[in-house]
Structure 1
């Protein structure tokens, strides 16, 4: 019998390409389970409840926190995000690899409550490339972009807290490396 898979946490600065890498990886290996976070943020165009996020109001989020139902949670750009605990534990107990795509604050909380978790830092090829990606989205105001850039500097400085760093120069390459770390490929 193989050992229980470790929870793998993918984190890195906003705009580094976490969602793109995960989407590419899951096209190849849909059996990798990605936890769907709860958020108080409003859906972006094309996002559906229960797919990209569980969209909840502030009162619902407060209840999740109060009841200890979140493995981790954080405030980012004025919205709260959190990982439902039970779904993660259920998948791990079944022997399925679990991937969390969360921010630095959340990664630190997971490491505290589940020290066996594997923390993977996704780094940009350069600061200039990260700035280009964040400003090129066209979905956020300049204030939000400035806040994300300030947060990115802090997040980049925390790279040493992670078990592994992957540099996102190629989505295909990083997805393959992440699959190998998950023990799937």
Structure 2
């Protein structure tokens, strides 16, 4: 069966993007990465993706209306034959229109055990609340910030000596393990 074509959106170094690309090299992986796109032309992850032979697209949103910016990203994804999108450290909120166009075909990995700690500063918030565990969540992207159906989670025990930085590093390791596994399973359930 033909592999599903995945597009990945990044804004920075793209460590979760790299984990998805590395996993796609396995013979039994149900997806291939067709395009890595970014809102930041200087994003380090773009250079790494190009070195791996992956097509890239960058378009800065500075000075242009959001619908025009998203239309350019949408066109690049469709031209590459992308069937589904994985957000991997993409730091822009997608418009409701974009989410509607890709309904149930966008996933994100978020660094908390949703529904706890939507948005930013998740590790500092977990520490401030005295939580015993933190983690990450893969979820469907909807119009509600970090509010879509949960596809998978991984937990990390919070240690007494943890800072937001040390906790973030351990959670990131779990993200790299969880995201490719959940994306692969999710893509096999999508209608063609």
| Normalised-by-shorter TM-score class | 0.3 to 0.5
Q: TM-score, normalised by structure 1?
A: 0.45
Q: TM-score, normalised by structure 2?
A: 0.44
The answer to which structure, 1 or 2, has the higher relative contact order (CA under 8 A, 6+ apart) is 1
